[in-house]
Amino acid sequence: MSYSVAYKDIGQKDYKETWDYQTDIFTKLVESKKQGNGGGTSTYSYLPGTFIFVEHPHVYTLGKRGSENNLLLDNIQLRAKDASFYRIDRGGDITYHGPGQVVGYPIFDLEVIKIGLKEYIYLLEEAIIRTVAEFGISASRLEGGTGVWLDPEIIGKARKICAIGVKASRFVTMHGFAFNVNTDLSYFNNINPCGFTDKGVTSLEKELGVRQDFDYVKSIVKKNLQEIFDLEWINQ
Protein backbone atom coordinates (compact mmCIF):
# COMPACT_ATOMS: atom_id res chain seq x y z
CA MET A 1 0.00 0.00 0.00
CA SER A 2 1.38 3.40 -0.99
CA TYR A 3 2.22 5.97 1.67
CA SER A 4 0.02 9.07 1.41
CA VAL A 5 2.07 12.28 1.51
CA ALA A 6 0.97 15.91 1.27
CA TYR A 7 3.22 17.66 -1.25
CA LYS A 8 4.19 21.26 -0.43
CA ASP A 9 6.38 23.40 -2.68
CA ILE A 10 6.71 26.62 -0.68
CA GLY A 11 9.22 28.35 -2.97
CA GLN A 12 11.78 30.69 -1.41
CA LYS A 13 11.39 30.89 2.35
CA ASP A 14 13.42 32.03 5.37
CA TYR A 15 15.13 29.14 7.16
CA LYS A 16 13.67 29.84 10.62
CA GLU A 17 10.14 30.22 9.25
CA THR A 18 10.48 26.90 7.44
CA TRP A 19 11.99 25.21 10.49
CA ASP A 20 8.99 26.34 12.56
CA TYR A 21 6.61 25.21 9.80
CA GLN A 22 8.01 21.70 9.55
CA THR A 23 8.33 21.44 13.36
CA ASP A 24 4.60 22.13 13.68
CA ILE A 25 3.76 19.36 11.18
CA PHE A 26 6.26 17.00 12.82
CA THR A 27 4.87 17.65 16.31
CA LYS A 28 1.28 17.01 15.22
CA LEU A 29 2.26 13.69 13.68
CA VAL A 30 4.25 12.61 16.73
CA GLU A 31 1.42 13.62 19.09
CA SER A 32 -1.05 11.72 16.94
CA LYS A 33 1.06 8.58 17.35
CA LYS A 34 1.28 9.08 21.12
CA GLN A 35 -2.53 9.11 21.23
CA GLY A 36 -2.69 5.88 19.24
CA ASN A 37 -3.75 7.39 15.94
CA GLY A 38 -0.97 6.14 13.72
CA GLY A 39 2.17 4.08 13.71
CA GLY A 40 1.34 1.49 11.10
CA THR A 41 -1.95 0.22 12.56
CA SER A 42 -3.81 -2.49 10.72
CA THR A 43 -6.58 -0.05 9.78
CA TYR A 44 -4.10 2.52 8.47
CA SER A 45 -5.77 5.22 10.56
CA TYR A 46 -2.75 7.50 10.46
CA LEU A 47 -2.10 11.10 9.51
CA PRO A 48 -0.49 11.43 6.08
CA GLY A 49 3.14 12.35 5.76
CA THR A 50 4.32 15.68 4.37
CA PHE A 51 7.05 16.54 1.90
CA ILE A 52 8.31 20.14 1.64
CA PHE A 53 10.37 21.56 -1.22
CA VAL A 54 11.99 24.90 -0.38
CA GLU A 55 14.81 27.23 -1.42
CA HIS A 56 16.46 29.23 1.38
CA PRO A 57 18.31 32.55 1.53
CA HIS A 58 21.98 32.20 2.56
CA VAL A 59 22.15 30.30 5.86
CA TYR A 60 24.53 27.99 7.72
CA THR A 61 23.08 25.30 9.96
CA LEU A 62 24.93 23.21 12.54
CA GLY A 63 23.71 19.82 13.73
CA LYS A 64 23.39 19.00 17.41
CA ARG A 65 26.71 17.14 17.57
CA GLY A 66 28.59 19.52 15.27
CA SER A 67 31.40 21.88 16.22
CA GLU A 68 31.07 25.63 15.83
CA ASN A 69 34.75 25.60 14.90
CA ASN A 70 33.61 24.37 11.48
CA LEU A 71 32.04 27.79 10.86
CA LEU A 72 34.92 29.96 9.71
CA LEU A 73 33.08 33.31 10.00
CA ASP A 74 32.26 35.58 12.93
CA ASN A 75 28.95 37.45 13.28
CA ILE A 76 30.21 40.53 11.45
CA GLN A 77 31.44 38.44 8.54
CA LEU A 78 28.12 36.57 8.44
CA ARG A 79 26.24 39.84 8.10
CA ALA A 80 28.63 40.95 5.35
CA LYS A 81 27.78 37.78 3.48
CA ASP A 82 24.06 38.43 4.03
CA ALA A 83 23.94 35.04 5.77
CA SER A 84 22.47 33.75 9.00
CA PHE A 85 23.46 30.90 11.31
CA TYR A 86 21.43 28.40 13.35
CA ARG A 87 22.32 25.51 15.62
CA ILE A 88 19.54 23.02 15.00
CA ASP A 89 18.23 19.65 16.17
CA ARG A 90 19.19 17.39 13.27
CA GLY A 91 22.09 14.98 12.96
CA GLY A 92 25.23 15.81 11.05
CA ASP A 93 27.64 18.73 11.32
CA ILE A 94 27.59 22.07 9.49
CA THR A 95 26.21 22.78 6.07
CA TYR A 96 25.10 25.68 3.89
CA HIS A 97 21.73 26.41 2.29
CA GLY A 98 21.17 29.08 -0.30
CA PRO A 99 19.62 30.14 -3.60
CA GLY A 100 19.88 27.57 -6.36
CA GLN A 101 19.80 24.64 -3.94
CA VAL A 102 16.91 22.15 -3.87
CA VAL A 103 16.08 21.50 -0.21
CA GLY A 104 13.67 18.72 0.69
CA TYR A 105 12.10 18.10 4.10
CA PRO A 106 10.26 14.76 4.33
CA ILE A 107 8.11 14.40 7.45
CA PHE A 108 7.45 10.68 7.19
CA ASP A 109 6.27 7.99 9.59
CA LEU A 110 8.83 5.24 9.06
CA GLU A 111 6.69 2.72 10.92
CA VAL A 112 4.02 3.09 8.26
CA ILE A 113 6.59 2.78 5.48
CA LYS A 114 8.10 -0.14 7.42
CA ILE A 115 11.74 0.89 7.25
CA GLY A 116 14.34 1.94 9.82
CA LEU A 117 16.26 5.21 9.99
CA LYS A 118 19.41 3.80 8.38
CA GLU A 119 17.46 2.49 5.39
CA TYR A 120 15.53 5.77 5.18
CA ILE A 121 18.76 7.76 4.81
CA TYR A 122 20.02 5.21 2.28
CA LEU A 123 16.86 5.69 0.20
CA LEU A 124 17.11 9.49 0.33
CA GLU A 125 20.63 9.14 -1.02
CA GLU A 126 19.36 6.75 -3.68
CA ALA A 127 16.80 9.31 -4.89
CA ILE A 128 19.55 11.86 -5.54
CA ILE A 129 21.90 9.26 -7.04
CA ARG A 130 19.17 8.33 -9.53
CA THR A 131 18.45 12.00 -10.21
CA VAL A 132 22.01 12.95 -11.13
CA ALA A 133 22.26 9.75 -13.21
CA GLU A 134 19.50 11.15 -15.42
CA PHE A 135 21.89 14.01 -16.18
CA GLY A 136 24.72 11.63 -17.05
CA ILE A 137 26.55 11.93 -13.72
CA SER A 138 27.71 8.91 -11.74
CA ALA A 139 27.35 9.44 -7.99
CA SER A 140 27.59 7.18 -4.96
CA ARG A 141 28.02 7.08 -1.20
CA LEU A 142 31.05 7.76 0.97
CA GLU A 143 31.87 5.16 3.60
CA GLY A 144 31.54 6.80 7.00
CA GLY A 145 29.71 9.86 5.69
CA THR A 146 26.11 10.53 4.68
CA GLY A 147 25.05 12.32 1.53
CA VAL A 148 25.72 11.85 -2.16
CA TRP A 149 29.23 12.11 -3.53
CA LEU A 150 31.15 12.17 -6.78
CA ASP A 151 34.46 10.26 -6.89
CA PRO A 152 34.18 9.56 -3.14
CA GLU A 153 37.18 7.23 -2.95
CA ILE A 154 39.59 9.32 -5.02
CA ILE A 155 41.88 11.42 -2.82
CA GLY A 156 41.69 15.07 -3.81
CA LYS A 157 38.65 14.58 -6.06
CA ALA A 158 35.88 13.55 -3.65
CA ARG A 159 33.13 16.16 -3.69
CA LYS A 160 29.63 16.25 -2.24
CA ILE A 161 26.65 17.22 -4.36
CA CYS A 162 23.94 16.58 -1.75
CA ALA A 163 24.03 16.81 2.05
CA ILE A 164 21.65 14.86 4.28
CA GLY A 165 20.81 15.44 7.93
CA VAL A 166 17.70 14.21 9.72
CA LYS A 167 15.95 14.06 13.05
CA ALA A 168 13.58 11.29 14.13
CA SER A 169 11.25 10.80 17.11
CA ARG A 170 8.86 7.85 17.41
CA PHE A 171 10.01 6.98 13.89
CA VAL A 172 8.75 10.32 12.53
CA THR A 173 11.36 12.23 10.52
CA MET A 174 12.11 15.87 9.83
CA HIS A 175 14.87 17.92 8.19
CA GLY A 176 16.22 16.15 5.09
CA PHE A 177 18.48 16.87 2.12
CA ALA A 178 20.12 19.81 0.36
CA PHE A 179 20.94 19.17 -3.30
CA ASN A 180 23.27 21.65 -5.03
CA VAL A 181 21.82 22.55 -8.42
CA ASN A 182 22.75 26.15 -9.31
CA THR A 183 24.28 26.89 -5.91
CA ASP A 184 26.95 29.58 -5.34
CA LEU A 185 29.61 27.19 -4.08
CA SER A 186 31.84 29.99 -2.79
CA TYR A 187 29.69 30.05 0.36
CA PHE A 188 31.06 26.62 1.26
CA ASN A 189 34.52 28.20 1.55
CA ASN A 190 33.37 29.66 4.87
CA ILE A 191 32.84 26.28 6.54
CA ASN A 192 34.30 22.82 6.81
CA PRO A 193 31.32 21.19 5.05
CA CYS A 194 29.83 18.44 7.21
CA GLY A 195 33.02 18.60 9.29
CA PHE A 196 35.31 17.50 6.43
CA THR A 197 38.48 19.47 5.73
CA ASP A 198 39.84 17.31 2.90
CA LYS A 199 36.83 17.01 0.59
CA GLY A 200 35.05 19.42 -1.72
CA VAL A 201 31.55 20.32 -2.83
CA THR A 202 30.02 20.55 -6.26
CA SER A 203 26.73 21.25 -8.02
CA LEU A 204 24.82 20.05 -11.04
CA GLU A 205 25.64 23.34 -12.77
CA LYS A 206 29.37 22.98 -12.10
CA GLU A 207 29.51 19.37 -13.27
CA LEU A 208 27.55 20.00 -16.47
CA GLY A 209 29.00 23.44 -17.24
CA VAL A 210 25.62 25.09 -17.73
CA ARG A 211 22.93 26.54 -15.49
CA GLN A 212 20.09 24.08 -14.91
CA ASP A 213 16.31 24.43 -15.10
CA PHE A 214 15.59 24.46 -11.37
CA ASP A 215 11.94 23.40 -11.59
CA TYR A 216 12.78 20.56 -13.96
CA VAL A 217 15.41 19.22 -11.55
CA LYS A 218 12.87 19.34 -8.72
CA SER A 219 10.42 17.37 -10.83
CA ILE A 220 13.03 14.63 -11.34
CA VAL A 221 13.78 14.49 -7.61
CA LYS A 222 10.05 14.31 -6.86
CA LYS A 223 9.55 11.47 -9.34
CA ASN A 224 12.42 9.46 -7.88
CA LEU A 225 11.24 9.96 -4.31
CA GLN A 226 7.76 8.79 -5.31
CA GLU A 227 9.13 5.63 -6.93
CA ILE A 228 11.65 4.75 -4.22
CA PHE A 229 9.33 5.27 -1.23
CA ASP A 230 6.12 4.24 -3.06
CA LEU A 231 4.42 7.57 -2.31
CA GLU A 232 0.95 8.73 -3.23
CA TRP A 233 0.98 12.52 -3.47
CA ILE A 234 -2.04 14.29 -2.04
CA ASN A 235 -2.98 17.96 -1.87
CA GLN A 236 -4.01 19.57 1.41
Catalytic residues: 194
Is the CB of residue 117 less than 8 Å from the CB of residue 90? no
Report the largest interatomic distance among the alpha carbons of the chain, rounded to a whole angstrom. Answer: 55
Distance of alpha carbon 28 from alpha carbon 79, whole angstroms = 35
DSSP annotation of 26 reads H
Q: Which residues contact 56 (CB under 8 A, 6 or more apart)?
A: 12, 13, 14, 15, 18, 97, 98, 99, 101, 103
Distance of alpha carbon 148 from alpha carbon 82, whole angstroms = 27
